Amino acid sequence: MTATVLFVTGTGTEVGKTAVTAAVAALAPSVAVLKPGQTGVTATEPGDAEEVARLAGPHVTIRELARYPEPLAPDTAARRSGLPTLRPQQVADAVAELASVHRLVLVEGAGGLLVRYDADGHTLADQALATAALGLRVQVLLVASAGLGTLNTTALTAEALRTRGLDTLGVVIGSWPADPDLATRCNLTDLPRAAGAPLLGALPHGAPHSPDFPTLAKSFLAPPLGGTWDAAAFTAAHPA
């Protein structure tokens, strides 16, 4: 089985990474979701991986490698809790194991691309590179916020990916507002230029609360992610 590995990163925290990860997982017939480092939840609380399973359905295999109770960067949270940090090779090996029995493996990062996972400063990008070094096909999906300020953080993340030789599949808006302002509407045109990659979706605000999340996901993700969403039509429907 030839698997695709998609690392899901964001331009920052609270931009909708988990919802987008769940949406992509909901539309894939053979999929595993890996959360390398979960922060801000205790051992008995559901984390992002469990939220993906709740939204996407029981066909999704979920796995988590490390959990830290404080809502901090993984390296800081590990240091404060006295728990081991994550090394890139640990993540790559877990991805390879999942890829051996699934056609798609989604790896959801914590925070943004360059958040530190260990004392040596290794990041989600290093995890992706370690995975690619095993011979797996690795791409990155960038989740961005919709409004003013998103172009700079999107461009910075895209530049960091390019300098590391990582392929950006596209960008998805993690939470599209019901009443988008001018800057938000303009970003439909400007975000793919900032990312140097196509716009592949825009999940509506509140999507995780939808009673039929998989149907919603299909409507708001583009064909490369398994949906029917059309960027040109969506942009035309929200003129600037």
Residues annotated as catalytic (active site), given as ranges: 35
Instruction: Name the phi and psi angles at 198, rounded to 5.
Output: -70, 155
- b/e code 10-41 from CB counts within 10 Å (16+ = b): bbbeebbbbbbbbbbbbbbeebbbbbbbbbbb
Q: Mind giving me the DSSP string for 192-228?
A: HHHHTS-EEEEEETTGGG-TTHHHHHHHHB-GGGTS-
Amino acid at 145: S
Euclidean distance between the first and the last CA atom of the chain, given in angstroms as a whole number: 45
Rounded Cα distance between 173 and 161, Å, is 18
Contact 16, 143 (CB under 8 A): yes
Residue 161 DSSP symbol? H
Amino acid at 15: V
Q: Look at residue 144 and give its three-state secondary structure.
A: strand
Radius of gyration of the chain (CA): 17
